[in-house]
Structure 1
Amino acid sequence: MEANIKFIGKIDSILTALEECPLQESENAPAAMITIYPEFITGIRHITEGTDLLLFTWLHQANRTVLTCQPRNNPAAPLTGVFSTRSPDRPNPIGMHEVKVLAVSPDGVICVSGLEALDQTPVVDIKPVIRK
């Protein structure tokens, strides 16, 4: 089986180094912009200010050989299987971020609330948050 991922956009953020990134968006992550590539702009139609989104990213600086880690970079924590953590280092470094839309421009730029992703991180997909 073959899989191909098309990046639909990129993150524009003030975060430029891994050391600057909070571990989660709820830990003082800065607002950021998602620039959607022109061929995908039609796909963001009906995304509006105030919408909660799940943003999926490709964590391009991740170590793809990691199978165990110490949760939250805590050296006192036991080694834990990476699939039971939110570590960015993993075989397929897909990031998942819950954000709130602050603004959307007609040219495909979505301003979002706290996002713990590096500048130029590729965007894989966007989905609405569905709350029950």
Structure 2
Amino acid sequence: MGATFSLRPIGVVKSALTSMDAAPPQGPEAGTEAVIELDPAWSEGLDGLAPGRWLWVLCLFDRAKEPKLKVHPRGDRSRPITGLFNSRSPHRPNPISLTLVRLEALEGNRLRVRGLEMIDGTPVLDIKPWSGNIDQPRGEQA
């Protein structure tokens, strides 16, 4: 449990959102558009992607605060308090986000996506394609 490791960002989010207060609670609900500017060294890895594709984007919540083990979901104090791991709080032991986005356009090393509620400058750790065959719970349909 004491192992340490490091992660290296592959890009950065370019967004109109400039603070955590400006970010909506969930990107797909808000339909927020953003651009992922990939480090040019990784551009070849975008081969095969096309607009309309759904992607998982992993980011680092680099401005997150210390996590609390009990939280109000979405920071809404009218909702009952629950465990951190039963919430979408950005303040986590390892502040990594996982967001499902729709690829709207691909221009060189820039991906315009819908549903990414990250603050401008947020580091992008990875991008993976969504697959209905893999990402749906067994026995469930999309």
Do both share a fold (TM > 0.5)? yes
Corresponding residue number in structure 1 for 2:127: 126
Correspondence for 2:59: 57
Q: Does 1:31 align with 2:33?
A: yes
SS at match of 1:27: helix
Question: Which position in structure 1 is the counterpart of 2:89?
Answer: 87
Partner of 1:114: 115
Distance in 1 (CA, whole Å) between partners of 2:11 and 2:69 is: 28
**1:57-116 superposed Cα distances (whole Å, 9 cap, x missing partner):** 00111113322211111112232211111110111111111111111112x000111221
Rg (Cα) greater in structure: 2
Q: Bigger CA drift: 30-39 or 77-86?
A: 77-86
Q: TM-score, normalised by structure 1?
A: 0.92
8 Å contact 1:18–1:118 — kept in the other structure? yes
The 1:89/1:76 distance shift into structure 2, 3 A limit, reads: same
* Change in 2 beyond 3 A, CA 1:103/1:92: same
42, 45, 51: which one pairs with 1:43? 45
Report the Cα distance in structure 2 between the residues aligned to 1:21 and 1:65, rounded to whole angstroms. 18
Percent identity, please: 34
RMSD: 1.3
Structure in which a larger fraction of residues adopt helix = 2
Range with greater deviation from structure 2 (113-122 or 5-14): 113-122
Runs (5+) with no aligned partner, structure 2: 134-142
